[in-house]
Amino acid sequence: MPTYDPTTALLIVDVQNDFADPQGNLYVKGGEQVVPFINAEIERAQQAGARLFYTQDWHPESTPHFQKDGGIWPVHCVQFTWGAELHPALVVGGPIVKKGSNGEDGYSGFTMRDPVSGETTATPLGDMLATAGITTLVVAGLATDYCVKSTVLDARERGYPVTVLQNGIRAVDLQAGDGDRAIEEMFAAGALLESRAAVSAEGGLDS
């Protein structure tokens, strides 16, 4: 179980309707199940004085990120739509970093990549963590094999100790096993992977 203190941040990645609701345009199987678990973790973090940060996919209507414009993904998380909103049951108690706003591939909470030129730009997250005096990260959210993985790998490149909460993530698994491979990649990069009892939708611990 991660230890929280004021130098630790719980980073919650892309828990948005298009990913976490079965009616979402890019629903991640079981995505809604992470919400009660993450909410319980948020309570633990807040009680210890840790900080909360959130990321949010925030795409324009047309972007090379989408299949209709030459990318690989169905239209999802379009700015100011229901699909882009954070899941209504998710407790929000900290700043939200929007990514992909100008059509970039916004997988990582730390960086965005132009899908045409390949140019990488930083999001505000790194500066926000530094300003808050954060030295350690705990990560949960969606999806394991894309935005969670990219965020964790970028955090490790920046020297952050990172714990990934395995009951607080779910994978797209575009190819079978992608989620497992992502977990192996994060572990190989030095992230700690923690698994413990999940939380039921009613808020209790599942047996």
Residues recognised as catalytic? 14, 99, 147
> Residues 77, 83: contact at Cβ < 8 Å?
yes
Tokens of 80: 């100011």
> Residues 164, 192: contact at Cβ < 8 Å?
yes
